[in-house]
């Protein structure tokens, strides 16, 4: 299987972005295949997060194009990206502790009913739908009526991923999804990520954890100093080769 | 609510079997609820500080003076509490969004003066009322814009507008009171629905509307998200700036409504400082169990808090305690409530 066999879900071509004198991205080109887990690895400051922010609509590329699902993107904000089906699981999780699980799942996407402009929350529908969303996870299910404050780190991550996976998203971006988790919780979240792929979502994974990247991903892109320096099918490479590519001791 | 003190032994006797099963099965499963609440009795007391305090005060004052619980006195307490209740609702919205509105009382004073000027120029009751609300709403809107767009701390912005609004009130009125006589306003403050005076009815309606807005609309959820975690709210695309502006404008509008109620009560428009209203509105919100860091609380608590503070003043007056002791009593109650709130879950 090669990356060119099907139309890529995301096609990044020659993207450049500078912040003042700092060239954060220089002619970055890479593709994400649909239904796969694609990992981007690289040292701190290699430009991984900046690239992801371009894809999710937080930054805009100064030159080059980003195609999503065959269309050129002109996202002006993360909401634009979300409307097209790009969801991001943030490093800091972006959950509100004092709201319940279902309120967090539907945050800024609340279901309402009412007449004309006078609309009230449809709490029953949201709770039922949240129950359904959480039950499909089959991992570590917290009761949807409980406050997020009472959940463990893994449960919170499960809720975040559940929020990103729901609402018919096509691409789920995860920035260091297990950075703050223990061993067991990391394993559970990894199961969730694999399940996302099995459910047909494309996943873009940023991780510092090489063994995790090797375990989960189908395709790995290596970034160094603002450039995308190499791409490998995970099955065709080794952790050692990836490390060598990241540090620059080996080219291409 | 039971009359059992929180140090009562029964929960201790009940817990041992529950604890062991809890530990061996799952440490953070929700089945542990009952066990948790019995352990966190002090948390329960903290959560319901306002209503417990209110019941205690009513019991004490009734025991000390039988006049306290007569229909007439209860009616006058409810009417006396209504202005504070309206201001408190506004303050609660602001504090829930992780801000604080130090300008509520001066904004109300400016509303009072706007009313007085319009009225003395021969404007009708309706126009005068509108000018009170518009003047106060403007101050609120400016507060909100400065906080949200100017990115200045809430505390500083509203400290400034406290001074600006009361200064404007003094300048516009030239420091003199204007007497306002209107049959409509007199009727408003002396009549009512059934046993409830109109001012209290207005306050109650506002409180119910505020509750619906907070818990039954998207705006309410977004307000809680903004107050609870601004970053999370923004990450999900909520415009926290719009929420902030809305919240301060609501506080301003309510200050304007309170201004009309104050004029109906006093019968004049005077540029008084009304500092007690500011302190009591914050105190009532704290008593009502709203977290000062935002994102947690309700409307019922602060309303009960406002009622509690009014009951305290009323009871002390009935017992012929000098007025000088009232701020002292309010201060002690508020500090006790704040101490208790540390035990909130």
pLDDT in tens, B114-157: 999 999 998 889 999 999 999 999 999 999 999 999 989 999 99
3-state secondary structure (DSSP) of residue A228? strand
- Region of poorest pLDDT, from A63-77, A139-153, B4-18, B34-48: B4-18
pLDDT band at B13, cuts 50/70/90? very low
| B133 lies in the same domain as B53 | yes
Name the residue among B220, B222, B296 with its Cβ closest to that of A98. B296
The mean pLDDT value for B292-308 works out to 92
Q: From CA B308, how far away is CA B59, in angstroms rounded? A: 12
- The proportion of chain A whose per-residue pLDDT surpasses 70, expressed as a percent, equals 93
The mean pLDDT value for A99-117 works out to 88
Q: Which residues pair with B269 in a beta bridge?
A: B178
| B78 lies in the same domain as B113 | yes
Mean pLDDT over the full length of chain A: 84
The mean pLDDT value for A133-154 works out to 77
Name the residue among A79, A90, A103 with its Cβ closest to that of B221. A103
pLDDT at residue number B37:
54
Q: Which residues of A fall within a CB distance of 8 Å from B232?
A: 92-96, 107
- For B256, the token pair is 């304007």
pLDDT at residue number B181:
86
Task: Write the CB contacts of B260 (distance below 8 Å, at least 6 apart in sequence).
Answer: B111, B115, B129, B132, B133, B185
CATH number of the domain where residue B153 is located: 1.10.3470.10
3-state secondary structure (DSSP) of residue B199? helix
User: Is the Cβ of B296 closer than 8 Å to some Cβ of chain A?
Assistant: yes
- The proportion of chain B whose per-residue pLDDT surpasses 90, expressed as a percent, equals 55
Q: What are phi and psi of B103, to 5 degrees?
A: -95, 0
The mean pLDDT value for B34-39 works out to 54
Q: From CA A75, how far away is CA A82, in angstroms rounded? A: 9
Q: From CA A228, how far away is CA A16, in angstroms rounded? A: 11
- For A225, the token pair is 């100093």
Q: Which residues of B fall within a CB distance of 8 Å from A152?
A: 28
Name the residue among B28, B212, B238 with its Cβ closest to that of A108. B238
Name the residue among A94, A97, A98 with its Cβ closest to that of B236. A94
Q: What are phi and psi of A116, to 5 degrees?
A: 55, -130
Cβ-contact A230, A252 below 8 angstroms: yes
| B27 lies in the same domain as B142 | no
pLDDT at residue number B23:
38
pLDDT band at B8, cuts 50/70/90? very low
Q: From CA B343, how far away is CA B132, in angstroms rounded? A: 41
| B205 lies in the same domain as B333 | yes
| B59 lies in the same domain as B27 | no
Report the topology of domain A10-95+169-247: Rossmann fold (3.40.50)
Cβ-contact B105, B275 below 8 angstroms: yes
pLDDT at residue number B1:
39
pLDDT (tens digit per residue) in B312-341: 999 999 988 888 888 898 888 888 877 877
Task: Kindly determine whether residue A79 and residue B296, on different chains, have CB atoms separated by under 8 Å.
Answer: no
Q: From CA A68, how far away is CA B209, in angstroms rounded? A: 44
| B120 lies in the same domain as B195 | yes
pLDDT at residue number B35:
53
Q: How far B170 CA sits from the closest chain A CA (Å)?
A: 40
pLDDT of B28 > 70? The answer is no
Residue of A73, A68, A55, A91 whose CA lies nearest to A176: A91
pLDDT (tens digit per residue) in A188-213: 888 888 888 888 889 999 988 888 88
The mean pLDDT value for B156-184 works out to 92
Interface test with A, best of B237, B290, B296, B345 (most A CBs within 10 A): B237
For residues B248 and A17, which has the higher predicted lDDT (pLDDT)? Answer: B248
pLDDT of A108 > 50? The answer is yes
Name the residue among B30, B220, B225 with its Cβ closest to that of A107. B225
Q: From CA B223, how far away is CA B45, in angstroms rounded? A: 26
For B35, the domain range is 1-39
pLDDT band at A252, cuts 50/70/90? low
pLDDT of A151 > 90? The answer is no
The mean pLDDT value for A40-60 works out to 86
* Domain range summary for chain A, segments of one domain joined by +: 10-95+169-247
pLDDT (tens digit per residue) in B176-185: 898 888 888 8
- Region of poorest pLDDT, from B78-92, B178-192, B212-226: B178-192
Return the ∠ at Cα A236 (arms to A234 and A242), rounded to 5°: 60
Q: How far B87 CA sits from the closest chain A CA (Å)?
A: 25
**DSSP annotation string for B245-290:** HHHHHHHHHHHHHHHHHHHHHHSEE-----HHHHHHHHHHHHHTT-
| B19 lies in the same domain as B58 | no
Q: Which residues of B fall within a CB distance of 8 Å from A124?
A: none
Task: Kindly determine whether residue B218 and residue A78, on different chains, have CB atoms separated by under 8 Å.
Answer: no
Looking at the structure of chain B, the number of domains it has is: 2
- For B100, the token pair is 């604080």
- The proportion of chain B whose per-residue pLDDT surpasses 70, expressed as a percent, equals 86
Interface test with A, best of B31, B213, B229, B239 (most A CBs within 10 A): B229
| Cα–chain center distance at A75 | 17
pLDDT of A121 > 80? The answer is yes
The mean pLDDT value for A115-122 works out to 86
- What residue of B is the nearest CA neighbor of A80? B237
Task: Kindly determine whether residue A143 and residue B235, on different chains, have CB atoms separated by under 8 Å.
Answer: no
Q: Are strands A71-72 and A63-68 parallel, antiparallel or unpaired?
A: antiparallel
pLDDT at residue number A2:
45
pLDDT at residue number B250:
97
Q: From CA B209, how far away is CA B23, in angstroms rounded? A: 44
| B166 lies in the same domain as B238 | yes
For residues B90 and A58, which has the higher predicted lDDT (pLDDT)? Answer: B90
The mean pLDDT value for B267-283 works out to 89
Mean pLDDT over the full length of chain B: 85
pLDDT at residue number B165:
95
Which range has the top average pLDDT, B92-96, B269-273, B278-282? B92-96
For residues B239 and B27, which has the higher predicted lDDT (pLDDT)? Answer: B239
Task: Write the CB contacts of A56 (distance below 8 Å, at least 6 apart in sequence).
Answer: A75, A78, A81, A86, A88, A173
pLDDT band at B15, cuts 50/70/90? very low
pLDDT at residue number B21:
37
Q: How far A81 CA sits from the closest chain B CA (Å)?
A: 11
pLDDT band at A92, cuts 50/70/90? low
pLDDT band at A48, cuts 50/70/90? confident
Q: From CA B47, how far away is CA A192, in angstroms rounded? A: 37
- The answer to whether residue B44 sits within a structural domain is no
| B163 lies in the same domain as B311 | yes
pLDDT of B20 > 50? The answer is no
**Distance in angstroms between the alpha carbons of the first and the last residue of chain B:** 17
| B275 lies in the same domain as B332 | yes
Task: Kindly determine whether residue A110 and residue B224, on different chains, have CB atoms separated by under 8 Å.
Answer: no
| B82 lies in the same domain as B207 | yes
| B163 lies in the same domain as B298 | yes
Long-range contacts of A27-32 (CB under 8 A, 24+ apart): A27/A64, A27/A227, A28/A64, A28/A223, A28/A226, A28/A227, A28/A228, A29/A64, A29/A228, A30/A221, A30/A228, A30/A231, A31/A3, A32/A8, A32/A171, A32/A202, A32/A204, A32/A219
Residue of A115, A162, A166 whose CA lies nearest to A142: A162
- Region of poorest pLDDT, from A143-147, B69-73, B261-265: A143-147
pTM above threshold 0.90: no
The secondary structure of residue A10, as a DSSP letter, is E
Instruction: Give the H or E element holding residue A67.
Output: strand A63-68
């Amino acid at each position: 299987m090669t990356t060119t066999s099907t139309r890529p879900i995301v096609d990044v071509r020659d993207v450049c972005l500078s912040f003042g004198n700092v060239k954060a991205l220089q002619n970055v080109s890479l593709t994400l295949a649909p239904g796969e887990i694609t990992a981007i690895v690289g040292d701190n400051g290699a430009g991984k997060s900046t690239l992801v922010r371009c894809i999710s609509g937080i930054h805009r590329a100064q030159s080059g194009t980003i195609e999503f699902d065959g269309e050129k993107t002109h996202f002006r904000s993360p909401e634009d990206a979300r409307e097209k089906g790009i969801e991001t699981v943030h490093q800091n999780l972006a959950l509100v502790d004092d709201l319940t699980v279902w309120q967090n799942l539907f945050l800024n996407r609340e279901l309402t009913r009412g007449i004309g402009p006078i609309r009230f929350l449809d709490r029953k529908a949201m709770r039922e739908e949240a129950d359904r969303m959480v039950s499909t996870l089959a991992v570590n299910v917290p009761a949807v009526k409980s406050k997020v404050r009472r959940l463990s780190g893994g449960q919170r991550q499960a809720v975040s991923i559940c929020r990103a996976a729901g609402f018919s998203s096509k691409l789920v971006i995860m920035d260091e999804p297990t950075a703050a988790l223990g061993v067991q919780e990391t394993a559970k979240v990894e199961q969730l990520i694999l399940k996302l792929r099995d459910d047909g979502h494309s996943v873009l994974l940023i991780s510092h954890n090489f063994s995790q990247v090797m375990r989960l991903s189908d395709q790995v892109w290596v970034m160094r100093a603002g450039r995308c320096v190499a791409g490998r099918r995970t099955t065709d490479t080794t952790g050692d080769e990836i490390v060598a590519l990241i540090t620059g001791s080996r080219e291409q | 609510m039971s009359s059992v003190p929180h140090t009562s032994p029964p929960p201790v006797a009940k817990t041992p079997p529950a604890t062991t099963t809890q530990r061996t099965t799952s440490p953070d499963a929700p089945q542990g609820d009952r066990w948790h609440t019995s352990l966190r009795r002090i948390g329960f007391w903290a959560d319901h500080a306002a209503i417990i305090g209110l019941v205690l005060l009513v019991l004490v004052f009734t025991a000390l003076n039988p006049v306290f619980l007569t229909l007439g006195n209860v009616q006058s307490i409810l009417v006396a509490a209504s202005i504070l209740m309206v201001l408190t609702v506004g303050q609660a919205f602001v504090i829930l969004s992780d801000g604080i509105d130090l300008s509520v009382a001066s904004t109300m004073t400016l509303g009072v003066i706007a009313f007085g000027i319009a009225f003395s120029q021969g404007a009708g009751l309706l126009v005068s009322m509108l000018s009170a609300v518009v003047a106060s709403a403007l101050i609120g809107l400016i507060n909100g814009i400065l906080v949200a767009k100017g990115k200045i701390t809430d505390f500083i912005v509203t400290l400034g507008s406290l001074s600006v609004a009361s200064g404007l009130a003094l300048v516009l009125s030239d420091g003199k009171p204007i007497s306002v006589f209107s049959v409509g306003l007199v009727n408003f403050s002396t009549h009512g629905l059934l046993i409830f005076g109109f001012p209290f009815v207005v306050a109650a309606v506002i409180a119910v509307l505020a509750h619906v807005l907070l818990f039954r609309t998207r705006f309410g959820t977004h307000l809680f998200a903004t107050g609870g975690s601004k970053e999370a709210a923004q990450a999900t695309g909520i415009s926290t700036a719009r929420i902030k502006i809305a919240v301060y404008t609501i506080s301003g509008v309510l200050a304007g409504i309170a201004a009309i109620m104050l004029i109906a009560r006093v019968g004049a428009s005077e540029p008084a400082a009304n500092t007690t209203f500011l302190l009591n509105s914050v105190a009532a919100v704290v008593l009502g169990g709203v977290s000062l860091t935002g994102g947690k609380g309700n409307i019922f608590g602060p309303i009960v808090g406002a009622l509690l503070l009014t009951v305290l003043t009323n009871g002390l007056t009935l017992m012929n305690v000098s007025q000088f002791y009232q701020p002292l009593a309010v201060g002690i109650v508020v500090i006790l409530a704040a101490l208790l709130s540390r035990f909130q879950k």
